[in-house]
Amino acid sequence: MQKMVVNGGVKLEGEVVTGGAKNAALPILFSTLLADGEHVFHNVPDLMDIKSTRDLLESFGCETSFTDNTLKVVVRPLKTFVADYDLVRKMRASIVCLGPLLARHKQAKVSLPGGCAIGSRPINFHLNAMEQLGATCEVTSGYVVAKTEGLKGTQIIFDMPSVGATQNVLMAAVLAEGTTIIENAAKEPEIVDLANYLVKMGAKVKGAGTSIITVVGVESLSAAEHRIIPDRIEAGTLLIAGAITRGSVTVKKCNPKDLEALISKMRDCGFSIETGDDFISVNQTKTWRAVDITTAPHPGFPTDLQAQFMALMLEAEGSSIISETIFENRFMHVQELLRLNADISKKAKVCVVRGKQGQLTGAPVMATDLRASACLILAGLVAKGETNVNRIYHLDRGYEKLENKLTKLGASIKRI
């Protein structure tokens, strides 16, 4: 099993380029099921989750090819509407194939994704919404078996904004008869990117990026070409890498508007941050104040950057209160950070992080989920001595060659 060996204490300097957004690419790749033909996507990150998505699309009968971050999907009449357990269990986001399969083929059998390290992650919003659109969804033998005579547009009000459920409903509604209004919709940039691709295919979608999305169903869609938006979580992670090492790093080809919550908190800490249309720079800051964060749906502070921000707070002056409101068990990194000599108390969904410059010391640690892996690497970049981050396969699900990007900035990190 591979691990990452990080030697702390090197100030990162230079420029680094952001890759395409995993969480935008995944639903967009599943949206190809809505139209036959050749779909072409640029700026697709080369990640395990993309491989898992291709495997699932191929299991339905699609052809895929991937070169230099351009991914082509050729969709022909499908040979099955079953998303098998062995493929779905590798990636929870597979559940968003339900909407497009139902919309276009009136049937789907999708394995229940199950829980994961960060929480139970139910799919009740997805299933309730499909039923409201006129499908029946039964859960039998670990599979969601869904059928419809034809989806019909309706009003759907989510209890809370769910990224995946909003994507699933969007993809179902574009081919439904009549108008669907999604209220309390998720507003993440990845939703907007999906809507933009659906519109390129011929869909009628308005309001993506706000809490009310209106979709007027059309008869059919056609394959199109699209460039995936930059990955705001990767960009944020690289920015924190520059900050935590007291370096000067410019993260290029990103969208600073998608990272306003992080940038504003980092400025509150006292970091000198500059932004342009497509870059963010952090300039060498020796000491910074602790600030509190509470994760929230976009445009609030992203849960996907909570672990990385916690690493930054370990080197701050003072105590930071970090509250996680999205997932019930997203503090798995705390136990591992304690191994690096961090001073953190945790109670339910709140952590108190007592920062102190130079307190971290290297140790062997274990990555428990994707963003926790990034947090441990960030902590390793400032810890004295060597940090070995085990179970690095979590990192490969969501970061494209992170160690190469960090090495280019001067970090001492290698995969073994």
Distance CA 209, CA 391 (A): 35
Whether 116 is catalytic:
yes
Beta-bridge partners for 208: 210
User: Nearest approach, Cβ of 190 to ligand UD1 (angstroms)?
Assistant: 6
The number of residues that bind ligand UD1 (CB under 6 A) is 21
Element (H, E) at 415: strand 412-415
State which residue, 146 or 290, has the beta carbon closest to ligand UD1.
146
DSSP designation for 222: -
Closest to 27 (Cα-Cα) out of 19, 39, 18, 17: 39
Per-position x/- string for 176-205, each x denoting binding to ligand UD1 as judged by CB under 6 A, each - no binding: ----------x---x---------------
122 interacts with ligand UD1 by CB under 6 A? yes
Q: Is the separation of the CB atoms in 218 and 175 below 8 Å?
A: yes
Rounded CA-CA distance 35/167 in Å is: 16
- Identify which of residues 201 and 326 has a Cβ nearer to ligand UD1 in the complex: 326
User: DSSP for 57-90?
Assistant: HHHHT-EEEEETTEEEEEE-S-S--EE-HHHHTT
Measured from the CB atom, the residue of 73 and 123 that comes closer to ligand UD1 is 123
CB-wise, 124 or 287, nearer to ligand UD1?
124
Q: Is 214 in the site for ligand UD1 (CB under 6 A)?
A: no
Query: Which two structure tokens, joined as six digits, stand for 63?
Result: 């052809």
Question: Contact with ligand UD1 (CB under 6 A): which of 57, 62, 123, 228?
Answer: 123
- Is 23 an interacting residue with respect to ligand UD1 (CB under 6 A)? yes
Strands 212-216 and 204-206, bridge-based pairing = antiparallel
Is 395 an interacting residue with respect to ligand UD1 (CB under 6 A)? no
Beta strands 155-157 and 107-111 are unpaired
| Nearer residue to ligand UD1 within complex by CB, 127 or 360 | 127
Q: Name the residue nearer to ligand UD1 (CB basis): 179 or 184.
A: 184
**In the chain, how many H helices and how many E strands?**
14, 24
Instruction: Decide whether 242 or 297 has the Cβ nearer to ligand UD1.
Output: 297
Member of 39, 126, 187, 397 binding ligand UD1 (CB under 6 A) = 126
Using CB atoms, what's the residue nearest to ligand UD1?
A: 164
In the complex, minimum distance from the CB of residue 140 to ligand UD1, in angstroms, rounded to a whole number? 18
Non-local (6+) Cβ contacts of 378 within 8 A are: 237, 240, 241, 244, 308, 311, 312
Residues of this chain, 131-160, that bind ligand UD1 according to CB under 6 A: 160
The four Cα atoms 362, 367, 368, 373 give a dihedral, to 10 degrees, of 100
Residue type, 91: M
Does residue number 93 form part of the binding site for ligand UD1 (CB under 6 A)? yes
State the Cα–Cα distance between residues 241 and 11, nearest whole angstrom.
9
The beta strands (E) that lie in 240-295 are given as 248-252, 272-275, 279-283, 293-294
Question: Rule CB under 6 A: is residue 308 a binding residue for ligand UD1?
Answer: no
**Residue pointed to by tokens 């006292």:** 270
What the block records as the tokens of 344 is 């953190």
Q: Based on CB atoms, which residue is closest to ligand UD1, 12 or 33?
A: 33
Which position among 116, 137, 269, 351 bears the catalytic label? 116
Instruction: Give the number of other CB atoms < 10 A from CB of residue 172.
Output: 32
Tell me: does residue 355 bind ligand UD1 (CB under 6 A): no
The least CB distance from residue 11 to ligand UD1, in Å, is 30
**Piece in contact with ligand UD1 (CB under 6 A), picked from 36-44, 69-77, 122-130, 334-342:** 122-130
303 lies in the binding site for ligand UD1 (CB under 6 A): yes
- Our finding on whether 246 is near ligand UD1 (CB under 6 A) is no
Choose which of 36, 231, 258, 304 interacts with ligand UD1 (CB under 6 A): 304
Near ligand UD1 in 25-84, by CB under 6 A: 26
- In this structure, are residues 123 and 95 in contact, taking their beta carbons and an 8 Å threshold? yes
Among 71, 172, 311, 326, binds ligand UD1 (CB under 6 A): 326
Distance, in Å, from the CA atom of 158 to the CA atom of 8, rounded to the nearest integer, reads: 45
Q: Does 162 bind ligand UD1 (CB under 6 A)?
A: yes
Which residues are identified as catalytic? 116
Q: Using CB under 6 A, list all residues that contact ligand UD1.
A: 23, 26, 93, 119, 121-126, 160, 162-165, 186, 190, 303-304, 326-327
